[in-house]
Amino acid sequence: MKKSLVALAVLASTGAALAQSNVTLYGRIDSSIGSNKVNGVSTTQLFSGNLSSTRWGLRGSEDLGGGLKAIFGLEQGFDSSTGTQAAGSAFDRQSIVGLSGGFGAVKLGRHDTSFDDIRDLSVSSNLWDSEFSSTKIAYTAGVADYSSRASNQIRYESPSFGGFSVGASYGLDEDATVKADTTAFNLRYKAGNLDVGVGYQDQKANSREYTTVAGAYNFGVARLSAGYNRAEIKNGNKANGYTIGVNVPMGNIDLSVGYAYSKAKNVAGTTAAKGSALSAGVTYTLSKRTRLYGALLDGSVENGVGVKTLDRRMYSVGVRHDF
């Protein structure tokens, strides 16, 4: 339940200014119990955030007139099994302020990269873009996966032009002695039940580049998502990955199956690593804000000579509540 939090003025020295804004408290608590087996070692766990990351946040806007708005967002991840803050800064998931209007939106601070929008699209029906998504294993073969957020970031989101939109983000390294900035772009088209896009990200801190093409379509009886991902270390391994997922809604029940595969080659053109994973799960909607779920992820990564370097199986059953 989203609530207007004018009462937060009591907690802020600038209470009068805050009361003029539209401020919303929101969040999501996700806990499940199950097992995580990695390379033969099995651990029974009470997980936090397997279906979607546990978090809470504040967001708001102020109407400045003429269609212009001031916007802000603060979002913190935490571990619902212990109550502790997630690794990183206080508002590790988001900390932005900006302006929005007919030109689109400009956001300053820590935020998802523009590339992340399209990668999320590629797994939107692959176990609901959760910790059970098969890319979590397959896309680690040969080249580590991308960083979904960047600090010190300037991000632009365009309005839609006949279904087309563009996005760009740049995270400053703020260090004159190194090159560690993160640059990302996306181009997206949405029309009716179709959603497709392409994204690119350059992470200078670890000399990695990522390119992805993704699409999703809602057929009514089922929702399908798919994507291609290219990951490369400059002057090093290059990996090509593919993923596909499907959701089948049946009343309060939503079934999902996902698969991903990736193969990396070294500079000599020989296979450096291969990874694949399969996932399956189901959610049951108790209300608009509460779901029960159960899911399984099973996959492995092997090196160029076929020796497994990662063998993982995870399953859990749990509950997620939104507020």
The DSSP annotation for 35-77 comes to EEEETTEEEEEEEESSSS--EEEEEEEEEEETTEEEEEEEEEE
Residue 38 pLDDT exceeds 90: yes
What's the whole-number mean pLDDT along residues 287-301? 98
Residue 232 pLDDT exceeds 50: yes
Which contacts of 190-199 are long-range, i.e. CB under 8 A and separated by 24 or more positions?
190/160, 190/163, 190/165, 191/163, 193/217, 193/218, 193/219, 193/220, 195/121, 196/121, 197/117, 197/118, 197/121, 198/118, 199/114, 199/115, 199/116, 199/117, 199/118, 199/119
**DSSP assignment letter at 193:** T
pTM above 0.85, yes or no: yes
- Structure confidence at residue 202 (pLDDT): 98
pLDDT above 90 covers a percentage of the chain that reads 92
2 against 137, higher pLDDT: 137
Confidence of residue 16 (pLDDT cuts 50, 70, 90): very low
Domain boundaries of the chain, sorted by first residue: 3-24+33-322
Residue 9 pLDDT exceeds 50: no
What's the whole-number mean pLDDT along residues 218-224? 98
Q: What is the pLDDT of residues 167-198, one digit of tens each?
A: 999 999 999 999 999 999 999 999 999 999 99
The structure tokens listed for 131 are 């910790």
Residue 7 pLDDT exceeds 60: no
The structure tokens listed for 179 are 């090159």
- Structure confidence at residue 14 (pLDDT): 42
- Structure confidence at residue 20 (pLDDT): 59
Q: What is the pLDDT of residues 252-287, one digit of tens each?
A: 999 999 999 999 999 999 999 999 999 999 999 999
Residue 5 pLDDT exceeds 80: no
Fold of 3-24+33-322: Porin (2.40.160)
Residue 251 pLDDT exceeds 80: yes
- Structure confidence at residue 89 (pLDDT): 75
What's the whole-number mean pLDDT along residues 292-296? 98
Q: What is the pLDDT of residues 45-98, one digit of tens each?
A: 999 999 999 999 999 999 999 999 999 999 999 999 999 998 777 899 999 999
Chain-wide mean pLDDT for the chain?
94
- Structure confidence at residue 167 (pLDDT): 98
237 against 7, higher pLDDT: 237
Taking the C-alpha atoms of residue 93 and residue 76, their distance in angstroms, rounded to an integer, is 5
Taking the C-alpha atoms of residue 90 and residue 70, their distance in angstroms, rounded to an integer, is 22
Confidence of residue 8 (pLDDT cuts 50, 70, 90): very low
